Amino acid sequence: MDNGLLAPYLAAGIQRVKSAKSIGVRMGNWLSQKQAQALLNTPDISTLKGLRDRAIIAVLLGCGLRRSEVAALTIAHVQQRDGRWVILDLMSTHKRVRTVPMIDWGHRPTALLAPDHVVAALDSS
């Protein structure tokens, strides 16, 4: 299914990776793209708390992380590898260490927070 969030060559590469056999049925409620966008747009990005909340929601949605994984993130986890931004050495709930690619939200991870003019203002202060 192509939702336009990944470059076609990345999506094709991911599909070719063999994974462990999936046993069971996925459960839970899944958001539609419209619902996810509405959730992402909920925080008031004119405040620092709103910027923080938007970044947290973006990482939850864009990287598919669990709440506990996002809560444990530090800025040191976010690194650039081979020209791509990733969340490096993330400890999963089953004590497995993994690296999670970040969706290309812009030219750097702070693009998660706000439009460029807001990020520029924060950088200059």
Number of domains in the chain: 1
The answer as to whether 12 is a domain residue is: no
Closest by CA position to 53, among listed 105, 118, 112, 109? 112
For 28-86, how does the pLDDT look when each residue is reduced to its tens digit (9 = 90+)?
778 888 998 899 899 998 988 888 888 888 888 888 888 888 888 888 888 888 888 88
The answer as to whether 24 is a domain residue is: no
The answer as to whether 37 is a domain residue is: yes
Q: At what angle do helices 33-40 and 48-63 cross, to 10 degrees?
A: 160
The answer as to whether 116 is a domain residue is: yes
The answer as to whether 86 is a domain residue is: yes
Residue 58 lies in domain: 31-124
For 5-27, how does the pLDDT look when each residue is reduced to its tens digit (9 = 90+)?
778 887 777 777 776 666 767 67
The answer as to whether 76 is a domain residue is: yes
Residue 84 contacts residue 75 (beta carbons within 8 Å):
no
For 97-112, how does the pLDDT look when each residue is reduced to its tens digit (9 = 90+)?
888 888 776 545 555 5
CATH number of the domain at 61, please: 1.10.443.10
The answer as to whether 68 is a domain residue is: yes
The answer as to whether 61 is a domain residue is: yes
